[in-house]
Amino acid sequence: MLYLTNLTDKNIKVCKTDNKKLKLSGISSNSKSIKKGMLFAVIKGDKKNINKYVLDAFKLGARAVLCRKKDVNSLNKNIKNILVSEDIRLAVAKVASEFFPYQPKNISAITGTNGKTSIANFLYEIWKKNKINAACFGTLGIKYKNVNKKTRLTTLDPINLHRELNNLNNKKINFLVMEASSHALDQRRLDKVKIKFAVFTNLSRDHLDYHKNMKKYFISKTRLFKNLLDKKGIAVINFDNPYGEKIKIICDENNIANFTYGFKEECDWRILEINRLQKFTEVTVKNKNKNYRFRCKLIADYEIENLLAAIILANKNGLLINNILKKIGNIKQSEGRLKKIFFKNNIVSIYIDYAHTPEALKKSLKALRLLLKPSARLLLVFGCGGDRDKGKRKMMGKIAERFADKVFITDDNPRYENANHIREEISSYCKKSENIAGRKKAIDKAISKMKKDDILLIAGKGHEKGQEIKGNVFIFDDEFVAKQIFNKRFTV
């Protein structure tokens, strides 16, 4: 229980109240989830909807409302207890942290266009292998101990996030790694989280339907290092990406300790050599004039960069390097990340990957080309999402044209857009492509065209189990469909 007046600060003011000692039992931004005694937070909405939601919340027992200052006049005059804020998202994060005040002691946050999920899950696996009680929040859900639950967002909303942080503390889990999406950073979802370690992976075109341009997209990422990372915290930066140099400058200007990684000679942790053998990959990295060699199951350069970031994070969180390197040999790709589907009949290879940005698609195709035998071909099935950044379509079409030998362009979450228009737009930049409506048909056609030693990449969905079409989500699993079709066509 907290008093209404205890929640005020420079950003949160009491607009009106009939009880300065009013006690509140919790907070919710969903009017349907309100319980007796709670504070209802109205983050956004038009005049008509705001009043409806507030009245619905009070019918369920809400005692007070928190809203934007400009929305006060939209509220029913009978509402007696109102808090207002100029920055409602920051206010909600602050109040959530008051109701759920405890957090794990060591929180690592990862941001970047690509690689967040892989680094988070690699670090989580390293912790588990070293018997550290840890948790992982991100695209693949919430994981700790025997818990593995799916979530709708890569980064939780602030109320649920602080509730989960408080829960981890109660369970004596002191280590957490979490993904920090650009939307979440921009929307203040991570404000009031005590972040000790932050990672920047890379930045390339994505989410411009939301951010509008690359400058604003980058600015959202910088919030993690400028505003959220503890001043005595540590930043880990991919120095191979041009934006990594800018992040390092920000950290240096703010006196934040930072370590760079990548292939460049000036990196603090530099990848010297990658030797891909039949059963494993051998990697040599250098730090402070000392070389370290380790084996892993990963094949792509970018996967190994992601693993190195996780190794550095684990080390800065207290594990000895040698103890880390001894236990990473069997770490696998995260779910849906350049995952090879294994069949009894091994005459061809099929990979599933989440790559849905131009840079991610290019890197996955380049990685698989390294595995091709001289006479074999690289086939590709992919599409682009509807109602999202349309500028990616041209770029991804050109990448497919350049790096794949045969391309099958199909549907990938068309949402409310005309799926045929999306495919045609991509196809206009990829002359070697076939335009195939229906993702299952495209996968079937691609597999039917495979010859001995060919490699097929099915890109865009990875771990996702659904296809979004006109407001509905239809069950669809790339891996399941590919196995089903392959076994039908190739198993005697």
**CATH number reported for the structural domain that contains residue 154 in this entry:** 3.40.1190.10
Q: Are residues 127 and 71 in the same domain?
A: no
Residue 327 predicted with pLDDT over 80: yes
Same domain as 140, residue 156: yes
Mean pLDDT of 408-424: 98
Residues 435 and 460 in one domain: yes
Whether 335 shows a pLDDT value over 80: the answer reads yes
Q: Does residue 137 form part of some domain?
A: yes
Q: 49, 78, 99 — which closes off a domain?
A: 99
Query: Phi and psi at residue 448, in whole multiples of 5°?
Result: -65, -25
Q: What is the pLDDT of residue 46?
A: 76
Among residues 325, 353, 386, which one ends one of the domains?
Answer: 325
pLDDT category at 240 given cuts 50, 70, 90 is: very high
The CATH number covering residue 45 comes to 3.40.1390.10
**442 located within any domain:** yes
More confident residue, 490 or 64: 64
Looking at residue 491, what is its pLDDT? 63
pLDDT beyond 80 at 434? yes
State pLDDT tens for residues 357-375: 999 999 999 999 999 999 9
One domain for residues 84 and 124? no
Cα distances (Å, whole numbers) of residue 270 to 151, 309, 377, 444: 35, 11, 32, 42
As a whole number of angstroms, the distance between CA 324 and CA 309 comes to: 12
In a domain, 82, yes or no: yes
In a 10 Å sphere around its CB, with 0-12 CB exposed, 13-18 middle and 19+ buried, how is residue 431 labelled? exposed
pLDDT number for residue 346: 77
pLDDT surpassing 70 at residue 218: yes
pTM score > 0.75 for this model?
Answer: yes
Amino acid in the structure at residue 86:
E
Alpha-carbon gap, residue 465 to 374, rounded angstroms: 34
Q: Residues 6 or more apart from 212 whose CB is under 8 A from it?
A: none
Q: Is residue 334, in this structure, part of any structural domain at all?
A: no
Q: Which of 325, 347, 368 is the last residue of a domain?
A: 325
Task: Identify whether residues 44 and 138 lie together within a single domain.
Answer: no
166 plus 90 within the same structural domain: no
In degrees rounded to 5, what are phi and psi of residue 154? -60, -45
Q: How much is the pLDDT for 382?
A: 99
Give the mean model confidence (pLDDT) for residues 212-232: 97
C-alpha distances out from residue 435 to 52, 119, 229, 422, 429, Å: 46, 34, 46, 10, 12
Return mean pLDDT, the chain: 96
Are 218 and 197 found together in one domain?
yes
**pLDDT of 344 above 70:** no
- Considering the domain architecture, whether residues 283 and 372 belong to the same structural domain is answered as no
User: What CATH number does residue 445 fall under?
Assistant: 3.90.190.20
Beta strands in 17-166 (DSSP E): 23-24, 27-28, 39-41, 64-68, 82-85, 106-111, 134-138, 141-144, 147-149
Q: What percent of the chain has pLDDT over 70?
A: 99
* Residue 331 within a domain: no
* 385 within domain boundaries: yes
Contacts for 316-319 with beta carbons within 8 Å, 24 or more apart?
316/197, 316/234, 316/236, 316/259, 317/106, 317/108, 317/175, 317/197, 318/106, 319/126, 319/130, 319/132
Tell me the per-residue pLDDT of 258-297, one tens digit each, with 9 for 90 and over.
Answer: 999 999 999 999 999 999 998 999 999 999 999 999 999 9
If asked whether residues 35 and 137 sit together in one domain, one would say: no
Tokens 């504070």 correspond to 39
Same domain (yes/no): 153, 206: yes
Residue 13, domain extent: 2-99
- Report the alpha-carbon distance of residue 302 to residue 190 in Å, rounded: 27
pLDDT of 176: 99
8 A C-beta contact, residue 469 and residue 410: no
- Alpha carbons 327 and 315: distance in angstroms, whole number: 13
**Is 333 inside a domain boundary?**
no
- Considering the domain architecture, whether residues 156 and 269 belong to the same structural domain is answered as yes
Assigned domain for 92 exists: yes
For the chain, how many structural domains are there in total? Answer: 3
**pLDDT value of residue 490:** 73
pLDDT exceeds cutoff 70 at 492: no
Instruction: Verify that 368 and 321 share a domain, yes or no.
Output: no
